[in-house]
């Protein structure tokens, strides 16, 4: 497979030129400007940030992308799917509240917020995965699949399970419905924390498989013979008593994520933008953000999400670790076994290369790239 084009600009700004100006120039000079947006619904997939986290992308960047699309006749909306874990984005109402509180609103971005998998994370479409080895189908949020074009606007940072979160994770894990996230993270079965269960029976009413009964203490019990792993019970519970069991090994998780990303991108234009800044060691799904492990690097863009993630990863691997960070502190330990890998030295249990290997294997793109500075 030939090398793909990846466009890049750094964060240096001369007087009178902002980072927003540089992002717009990146869009103009890259192949993004070649997409026919006229009359098309365009999903801008991004992460709104968990409440308490401050390292997510500012809404100003989303507005640049949305405005660029609207100027060319497109009809953009910003979107994400509900989370599997308990937090501030586990249903559409809380998710939209979080988006607004974190600065993402129609007034700040110039387009609407749509939670792609609906109120409780159950509004999805089962999509075939061409060449899938781990997932033959993927459960993707309906609004994402209804879009004519998908744009990934990702905050590239570290991640405690995937090694880093970039374009492939943004669309692979991020576009999965609750059932889709459960399939990627685990064997697809939820569990009950009995001490939190109120015995309200909401989960049983929501379950389409008649898989939930109640014990002598009026606590929910899941029948795993009947359970389909759809995750609806997680969304139904208002008391955070039902959760996903994260049992997949990290490498398997990475490969499933790549296959989910392939399902999202198949058969329509998809373009990917990643901002490598505020590189926290963990995901923006956390309700906090630790100090950055690496300095800000720049903005990258490509039609090829595999090449894009590889280029961002290479830039991070070549960057100098910051002191007083998780990475810097690990490297400073006298007994630390150094991996010479900034992601693995930050979170040693990760296997980040597996995502790129699997994505390339099933034909999503190439890890070979040509970097074009804008």
**pLDDT reported for residue 247:** 55
- Torsion angle, alpha carbons of 166, 169, 170, 172, to 10: 150
Chain centre to alpha carbon of residue 280: 15
pLDDT tens for residues 346-362?
998 889 999 999 999 99
Q: Are residues 256 and 110 in the same domain?
A: yes
Looking at 200, 215, 244, which one is the last position of a domain? 244
Q: Is residue 278 located within the same domain as residue 310? A: yes
Looking at the structure, do residues 282 and 361 belong to the same domain, yes or no? yes
pLDDT of residue 315: 98
Share of the chain above pLDDT 90, in %: 83
Q: What is the CATH number of the domain that holds 216?
A: 3.30.70.20
Same domain, 158 and 261: yes
Q: Domain range holding 57?
A: 4-184+250-373
Q: Record the tokens describing residue 134, joined without a space.
A: 């781990």
- Give per-residue pLDDT as tens, 106-121: 999 999 999 999 999 9
Residue among 234, 191, 194 nearest 218 (CA):
194
Look at residue 82 in the predicted model and tell me its pLDDT: 95
Tell me what pLDDT residue 361 has: 97
Residues 39 and 170 in one domain: yes
Q: Which residue has the higher pLDDT, 262 or 231?
A: 262
Domain containing 99 — which CATH number? Answer: 3.40.50.11440
- Does one domain contain both 213 and 342? no
| Domain shared by 277 and 128, yes or no | yes
List the single range of 31-40, 83-92, 132-141 with lowest mean pLDDT: 83-92
* pTM summary value: 0.89
Both 357 and 211 in a single domain? no
Number of domains comprising the chain: 2
Give percent above pLDDT 70 in the chain: 98
DSSP symbols for 175-202: TB-HHHHHHHHSSS-EEE-GGG-----H
Same domain, 223 and 352: no
- State the pLDDT at residue 250: 78
Strand partners, 271: 151
Segment 317-351, tens digit of pLDDT: 999 999 999 999 999 999 999 999 999 999 988 89
Which segment of 186-190, 331-335, 369-373 scores lowest on mean pLDDT? Answer: 186-190
Does residue 65 sit in the same domain as residue 204? Answer: no
Report which secondary-structure segment, H or E, holds 253.
helix 250-265
Q: Which of 244, 269, 284 is the last residue of a domain?
A: 244
pLDDT tens readout for residues 252-300: 889 999 999 999 999 999 999 999 999 999 999 888 999 999 999 999 9
Q: Which of 206, 222, 244 is the last residue of a domain?
A: 244
- Asked whether residue 366 falls in the same domain as residue 233, the answer is no
On whether both 69 and 171 belong to a single domain, the answer is yes
Pairwise CA distance, residues 130 & 1, whole Å: 18
Per-residue pLDDT band for 30 (boundaries 50, 70, 90) equals: very high
């Amino acid at each position: 497979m030939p090398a793909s084009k990846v466009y890049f600009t750094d964060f240096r700004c001369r007087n009178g030129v902002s980072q927003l100006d540089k992002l717009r120039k990146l869009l103009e000079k890259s192949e993004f400007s070649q997409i026919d947006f006229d009359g098309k619904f365009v999903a801008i997939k991004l992460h709104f940030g968990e409440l308490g986290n401050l390292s997510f992308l500012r809404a100003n960047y989303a507005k640049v992308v949305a405005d660029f699309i609207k100027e060319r006749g497109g009809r953009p909306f910003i979107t994400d799917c509900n989370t599997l874990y308990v937090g501030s984005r586990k249903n559409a109402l809380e998710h939209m509240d979080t988006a607004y509180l974190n600065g993402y609103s129609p007034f700040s971005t110039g387009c609407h917020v749509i939670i792609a998998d609906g109120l409780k994370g159950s509004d999805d479409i089962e999509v075939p995965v061409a060449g899938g080895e781990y997932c033959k189908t993927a459960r993707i949020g309906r609004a994402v699949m209804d879009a004519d074009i998908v744009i990934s606007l990702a905050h590239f940072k570290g991640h405690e399970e995937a090694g880093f979160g970039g374009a492939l994770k943004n669309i692979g894990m991020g576009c999965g419905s609750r059932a889709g996230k459960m399939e990627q993270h685990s064997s697809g079965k939820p569990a009950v924390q009995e001490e939190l269960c109120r015995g309200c029976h909401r989960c049983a009413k929501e379950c389409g498989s008649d898989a939930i009964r109640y014990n002598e203490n009026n606590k929910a019990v899941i029948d795993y013979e009947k359970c389909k792993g759809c995750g609806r019970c997680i969304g139904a519970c208002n008391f955070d008593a039902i959760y996903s069991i994260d049992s997949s090994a990290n490498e398997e998780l990475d490969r499933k994520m790549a296959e989910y990303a392939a399902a999202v991108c198949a058969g329509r234009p998809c373009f990917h933008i990643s901002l490598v800044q505020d590189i926290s060691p963990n995901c923006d799904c956390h309700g906090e953000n630790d100090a950055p492990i690496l300095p800000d690097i720049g903005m990258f863009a490509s039609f090829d999400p595999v090449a894009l993630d590889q280029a961002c990863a290479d830039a991070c691997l070549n960057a100098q670790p910051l002191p007083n960070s998780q990475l810097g502190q690990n490297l400073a330990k006298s007994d630390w076994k150094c991996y010479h890998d900034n992601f693995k030295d930050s979170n040693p249990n990760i296997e980040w290369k597996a995502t790129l290997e699997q994505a390339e294997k099933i034909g999503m793109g190439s890890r070979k790239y040509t970097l074009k500075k804008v």
